[in-house]
Amino acid sequence: MIKQLRKAVLPVAGLGTRFLPATKATAKEMLPVVDKPLIQYAVEEARAAGIEQFCMVTGRGKTALVEHFDVAYELESTLRERGKTEAMAALEGTQSEPGSITTVRQQVPLGLGHAIWCARAFIGDDPFAVLLPDDLVLADKPCLQQLAEAYYETGGNIVAITEVPREQTNRYGILKVGRDDGRLVEVTGLVEKPAPKDAPSNLSIIGRYVLMPEVIKYLALMERGAGNEVQLTDGMARLIGEQPFHGLRFEGRRFDCGDKVGFLEAQIAFALKRPDLADAVYAFLKTYV
């Protein structure tokens, strides 16, 4: 029996050094794309997939991430008194059910696998999603919703995948593949950041996963991989052969918002999808291009 997917882990402990000085006193996940912070995009995408409980794996200086989803009594009272209905509507996505968001601390930066291990008590014996807010996906159907639907088809572990240039395989977790129907790919192996000459394919994992709780026992071994860190990819690789494991070619466009150029491109792409902004954005782009 396939268990319901209700939990999501959001690793948000990173320092955001590529965006200094903007991230000196602000969590990088609070950087806005148009008018919404990256963390809110991630939470809304997860909710669309049926996620009800969230665990943010945080570090020092990240309290704003939780406060963003808290009730802002003074602000909301002021907006109501002034009849600012549009502004009130803009806050709807920041509302969370009481007790639906928890946090754990990753005190030392030992990698993504270590961050997921820090959430082990929250995960328990349940399947869980992982969303990396730096990866922003523009899609008609939210990426994690696509992944959840595929999970209910196949059971087991499933990751969102995309093709990358062969010369860039050393930046990503890369799949070794079996059966491939053009949408779902059987995963027969995983390699973290292989050199292009050693990469088994050019299919890369992006920051969306549905994983079984058994991955925690392998992450708990604290084995160091690429970059001398505990890699989630290495833990997932140990599940292959024990449980179903698939990659999903999701529909949509992924933006790497941990990169300055990717972040700027996301601003334009998301603005052009907004009926209230598209015409004005098109107009000013013509003056630069």
pLDDT of residue 9: 98
CA 254 – CA 37 distance, rounded (Å):
16
What value does the mean pLDDT of the chain take? 92
Per-residue pLDDT for 73 more than 90? no
Confidence of residue 79 (pLDDT cuts 50, 70, 90): confident
Per-residue pLDDT for 117 more than 90? yes
CA 213 – CA 216 distance, rounded (Å):
6
pLDDT of residue 242: 92
Delimit the domains of the chain by residue range: 7-285
Confidence of residue 17 (pLDDT cuts 50, 70, 90): confident
Confidence of residue 16 (pLDDT cuts 50, 70, 90): confident
% of the chain with per-residue pLDDT over 90? 64
- Residues 6 or more apart whose CB falls under 8 angstroms from that of 63 comprise none
Structure tokens at 188: 């027969």
Confidence of residue 288 (pLDDT cuts 50, 70, 90): confident
Per-residue pLDDT for 90 more than 90? no
Structure tokens at 93: 């996505």
Structure tokens at 133: 């807010």
Q: Which residue has the higher pLDDT, 43 or 191?
A: 43
pLDDT of residue 203: 92
Per-residue pLDDT for 76 more than 90? no
pLDDT of residue 25: 86
Structure tokens at 138: 């523009």
Q: Tens digit of pLDDT for each residue in 211-248?
A: 999 999 999 998 888 788 889 989 999 999 899 999 99
Q: Are residues 219 and 99 in contact, defined by beta-carbon separation less than 8 angstroms?
A: no
Q: Tens digit of pLDDT for each residue in 21-34?
A: 988 888 899 999 99
Q: Where are the alpha helices (DSSP H) in the chain?
A: 38-48, 63-67, 73-81, 85-90, 112-118, 120-123, 143-154, 215-219, 232-237, 260-272, 278-285
Confidence of residue 152 (pLDDT cuts 50, 70, 90): very high
Residues counted in the chain: 289
CATH pick for 7-285 out of 3.90.550.10, 3.30.420.40, 2.40.70.10, 3.90.420.10: 3.90.550.10
Nearest to 136 by CA among 240, 28, 226, 270: 270
Q: Tens digit of pLDDT for each residue in 47-71?
A: 999 999 999 999 888 888 999 998 8
Q: Are residues 276 and 252 in contact, defined by beta-carbon separation less than 8 angstroms?
A: no
pLDDT of residue 170: 87
How deeply is 169 buried, as exposed, middle or buried, from its count of CB atoms within 10 A (0-12, 13-18, 19+)? buried
